[in-house]
Structure 1
Amino acid sequence: MNKTHVNEIHWLRAIACLAVVSLHAITSGTTIYYPESFDKIGYILHIMQMGLMFGTPTFIFISEFLFAKNYKDGMPKGFFIKRLRYLGIPYVFMAMVYAIVFTENITWGSFTLETLKNIFIGDFVAYFILIIFQFYILHHILYKKLQNLNPKIPLIIAFLINSLYLAFFNFTSPPNNEIMEYIWTTGHWLPFPGWVFYFILGFYCGKNYKEFLLLLNNRKNYLFLFFLVSFIGMIILKYFGLPSITSSKRIDIIFYTTSVIFLVLYYSSKIKYTPKFIFKISKYSFSIYLLHKLITDTVGSITNNVITHIIILFVISLLFSISVSFIINLIPFGKYLVGNLGKTPIQANQLVRKRKGAVNSRTL
């Protein structure tokens, strides 16, 4: 299977990853310094939080984009086994780590309970892996049908399903029941209808990437306007409590995330040189996603200045995640603990040349 690297996806993945870490660093700052009410800086930070909510939905888009682009004829043999090894095992391992770190007065019983909650209902930061596995299955079921349809039809249907699903939980109150309250606040994140638009969008953008880039170029004058209108609209709706939640599972985040994806893909496609920093963050993005909250959610007040606290916390979280991932990946089975490190285009090209050389030597 001939996989091709798309530099724009490295940009998008790196920006989404940095957005997630920044979001949780800001959340830490607002939690510590503004437990009850905001001042002017607090309101600005809250707006920044809203602006960073595109991170997780973008990862859903990227996952299906790459899948549709690289596997146009369906899943290769052993695909699910490979994904279980490289995504499932780290997911289970980190579920146990988070259970240990975030369970007070831990006992064997409480550790087991929290671990099971993390694994089966995604009660920790890596819940998106459960969502991605749902879309792997959905891709396997639908990809032949999607290939033969006009993209507008599935996109409209997916948007309606996604928006109506989120609107139901955004604008209705849960029954007076602990289980229902959990579903309304957190549980509804897991089923695929809450993310299906990003999946369909990723499918068609990945499958028809050259045509998609041409479309972005033809609509380039509207891209920043789309971003600006969706961002301002989201902030206004949040101000009026429509809905009141601060979450990537708001209905208006669909428009905002889409605008960010389009903007990043368009402008990064115009950049001839991609900095090594972008490739590095993209390479470590899965590990950063898994590990960063071990810092952001455990470190208390660093300084008396909330801005300084957020900046330091962001840097520490990023460096911690990259360093731990690098060290653990030196162990032969380390990739099954904190995630396998992706390859930069340079490393991928070297690997391709090496494989071609091995094939040529066998044919001589």
Structure 2
Amino acid sequence: MEKLPTANTKKEKTYLFEIHFLRAFACLLVVGVHVSATNYFMNGEKYTWFTYFLNQIGRFGTPIFAVISGFLLFYQLRMRNNFDLGYFFKSRMAKVIIPFFIWSLVYRFLLYYYDHQAFGNFWPEAEKVITGNSFYHLYFVLIVAQFYLIFPLLQKVLRTQSLVLIFTVISFIISYNLYGFHPDIKGGLGAFLASKSFMPIWIAYFAFGAFLAYFWEGIVKYATSRPWRMLLLALIISAGAVVEYTMHGYVSNRRLTNLANIPLLSIAIIGTFPLLSKWNFIKQPMVLIGKYSMGIYLVHPLILYLMARHLPEPYWDTRAILVMFAAVMVIAMIFIRIIQFIPFSTFIIPVPKVKKMKRSGVKKQAPEPIKQSA
């Protein structure tokens, strides 16, 4: 089987604006879920139609983050055509695992200080951290960490488009069959396997990220040349989500329809980049949000938690939820910027550099077409 040719990284350094645009959208969706949920609890556990819309439409965010995680791993592999196991784990430890443990401790102390949740014995406390249960959003970091454990094996095998396509199909079958999975195992292991933190439930989204990475030039060329159609597709998917939660009630980010929604929506958002990026008042904030997305993901629940305990009741008027949403985003980005002045801040919140290079395109100096395996 022929291996994938790679780009000459010295001559062709690109910044994948479309992917970071997608990451910004995912970040906004996730924050929307948590802002609306906090507003719900601050208003006697009541939603308005709009706060409920924000909560439910935002359920697309976390699976899209999984797509992006898979994409970045496999795209880097494709571009470099080499894999250093030691460097990989060292990098993941610095950029993901250490921040995960630091923020797990921060949120655990928060619960101790405000909710008077006393610290228990070492092992029960360690189990909370290891299983991503220190706070409601940290489970996803654990999911990504689990994927890192199998990536060294996957990268040895998935070196052609055909194999990536097969992997993607198998992964979607796995995720479909694990929907509502409840193993007949008691204790902590059984609870973990049945929980939303169990990575194989999400494997389809990581696999689609790999698919996106290995078919990138064709997909981005097709999508970005049809921005209005892609915008219409995104609106149709969103309308379908509204119909779904209206008919069936609350839906989670692991619903079966997302197995179709997330790939289509990801491509649609990528395709709208040329359209929306024409306006700097949209492009510049989205670039910044994409850059700070992991930091925003880690810190925004802290901001909402403190707001819920210190802001007077009038601030939680449901009519002001967009103002609250904007305030959370701005405070999070200011907080991240301040943290960047701290020595070794990348171990607290990793922030990628936005390189001043040409955007990734398919017309200028794109990688050679990828050949199918024989």
Report the number of matched residues. Answer: 334
| Counterpart contact for 2:42–2:316, Cα < 8 Å | no
Report the CA distance shift for 1:280/1:30 in structure 2 as closer, same or farther (over 3 A). Answer: same
1:321 CA displacement:
1.8
Q: Distance in 2 between matches of 1:101 and 1:113?
A: 19
SS of alignment partner, residue 195 of structure 2: helix
Q: Give the letter for the 1:289 counterpart.
A: Y
SS of alignment partner, residue 221 of structure 2: helix
Partner residue in 1 for 2:18 = 8
TM-score if structure 2 supplies the norm length?
0.78
SS of alignment partner, residue 270 of structure 2: helix
Q: Distance in 1 between matches of 2:232 and 2:323?
A: 33
| Counterpart contact for 1:4–1:70, Cα < 8 Å | no
Select 2:169's aligned residue among 122, 132, 156. 156
* 1:30 corresponds to 2:40: yes
Q: Which runs of 5+ in 2 are unaligned?
A: 1-7, 360-374
Q: Which runs of 5+ in 1 are unaligned?
A: 350-364
* 1:204 corresponds to 2:211: yes
Q: Give the letter for the 1:303 counterpart.
A: Y
| Counterpart contact for 1:13–1:59, Cα < 8 Å | yes
1:221 CA displacement:
7.9
Q: Distance in 2 between matches of 1:251 and 1:318?
A: 30
Q: Distance in 2 between matches of 1:273 and 1:108?
A: 50
State, as a whole percentage, how many aligned pairs show the same letter: 24
Partner residue in 2 for 1:81 = 90
Report the CA distance shift for 1:333/1:304 in structure 2 as closer, same or farther (over 3 A). Answer: closer
1:200 CA displacement:
1.1
Report the CA distance shift for 1:67/1:13 in structure 2 as closer, same or farther (over 3 A). Answer: same
* 1:129-278 alignment, distance < 5 Å: 129-148=141-160, 150=162, 151-166=164-179, 168-169=180-181, 188-216=195-223, 223=230, 226-241=233-248, 245-269=250-274, 271=277, 275-278=283-286
SS of alignment partner, residue 307 of structure 2: coil
| Counterpart contact for 1:227–1:256, Cα < 8 Å | no
Q: Which has the higher helix share?
A: 1
Q: Give the letter for the 2:177 counterpart.
A: L
Partner residue in 2 for 1:322 = 333
- Structure with more relative contact order (C-alpha pairs < 8 Å, separation 6 or more): 2
Q: What CA deviation, in whole Å up to 9, does each residue of 1:312-345 have, x standing for no partner?
A: 33233222222222222212122212x1211112
Q: Distance in 1 between matches of 2:356 and 2:214?
A: 24
Partner residue in 1 for 2:299 = 291
Q: Give the letter for the 1:236 counterpart.
A: V
SS of alignment partner, residue 328 of structure 2: helix
For the aligned residue pairs, the C-alpha RMSD in angstroms reads: 3.2
1:226 CA displacement:
4.8
Q: Distance in 1 between matches of 2:131 and 2:324?
A: 28
TM-score if structure 1 supplies the norm length?
0.80
